[in-house]
Amino acid sequence: MRNLLKVGLRRLVSSTPGDRAPARAMGDRNAVVVAVAAQKGGVGKTTSAVSLAAALARFHGKRVLLVDLDPQGHVATALQSTMPATGPSLARVLQDEAESEVLDAVVPTGIDGLDATAYDAGLAATEDLLGTRIGKEFVLRDKLRVTRTHYDVIVIDCPPNQGNLAINGLVAADQVLIPCDPSPLALKGVAALAQTVSTIAHRLNPQIDVLGVLLTRVDGRNTTLNEAIVSEIEEAFGPALLPVRIGINASLAKAQHAGTDIFAFDPGCRAAQQYRELADHVVGQLAT
């Protein structure tokens, strides 16, 4: 059969993804993409994404890319003392029909082995613009095709909703890490997200898996309410609940305020130890 697109109309088509040599050279790695996602706000997504990414780079010698998919730009705030204030635009990459890559929007951080995308005010508009694109759920995944060959792990900090950007994060992901604080609302949010991940697995990304539910902001005091919610969460998520838990620790907020990761800010604190244990667990899990 004739192929008129290739033979007759080729000159009119500026970009056909997949059949041209990538503008960026391929690397020799093949990153595992971990989306850190939760529907509820303020449960520790950004804190966990930054701390996990930093721990993987610092203690496991991984080449790590932290992608800030949240228009709030909290990754850049959390690492502001180690990152340039501005950088190339991730929004422009995502809105571009041509073969630009996330790699084109990456800046180095002061942490060895860790790159990140800079704060990008344009991401707020991207949320809506993505809705007008053909194959809107696959945009980020396509834009990581070459990028992922330059890293061992890509950690995506997703916004606290199930909008276009968050869905793009999940469709690009191999694994989803779901932070959950011990509150009834967070529990509901995890159930809703699990449903979304399951739908994405059926329709859009069959290789997606849940890395686990990470209990965050756990109050060490044994109040009855705290215990009741934790056991409800244990019952609800069973083996999906990660063995590592992150306690409430003021150093995490202070580190964010200082614009650096917990391992630089207060390496001896309990939260630093817990996030290091999380990274150890994740490395073990990804190796199997």
Ligand X SMILES: Nc1ncnc2c1ncn2[C@@H]1O[C@H](COP(=O)(O)OP(=O)(O)OP(=O)(O)O)[C@@H](O)[C@H]1O
Instruction: Tell me the DSSP string of 173-196.
Output: -SEEEEEE-SSHHHHHHHHHHHHH
Question: Which two tokens mark 163?
Answer: 């909008």
Least CB distance to ligand X at residue 222 (A): 17
Best CA proximity match to 63, nearest among 140, 149, 176: 149
Q: Does 205 bind ligand X (CB under 6 A)?
A: no
Closer residue to ligand X, CB minimum distance, 168 or 256:
256
Report phi then psi at 99, rounded to 5. Answer: -95, 35
Work out what residue 44 binds among Mg ion, ligand X, none; the CB cut-off runs from 5 to 8 Å by kind: ligand X
Cβ–Cβ < 8 Å for 281, 287: no
The one among 31, 34, 44, 64 contacting ligand X by CB under 6 A: 44
Q: Does 39 bind ligand X (CB under 6 A)?
A: no
Q: Does 213 bind ligand X (CB under 6 A)?
A: no
The answer for residues whose C-beta is within 8 angstroms of residue 47's C-beta and 6 or more apart is 78, 216, 252, 256
Work out what residue 125 binds among ligand X, Mg ion, none; the CB cut-off runs from 5 to 8 Å by kind: none
Closer residue to ligand X, CB minimum distance, 103 or 244:
244
Least CB distance to Mg ion at residue 159 (A): 7
Cα–Cα distance for residue pair 66/164, rounded to 1 Å: 19
Work out what residue 109 binds among ligand X, Mg ion, none; the CB cut-off runs from 5 to 8 Å by kind: none
Least CB distance to Mg ion at residue 46 (A): 3
Residues 128-187 within binding reach of ligand X (CB under 6 A): 160
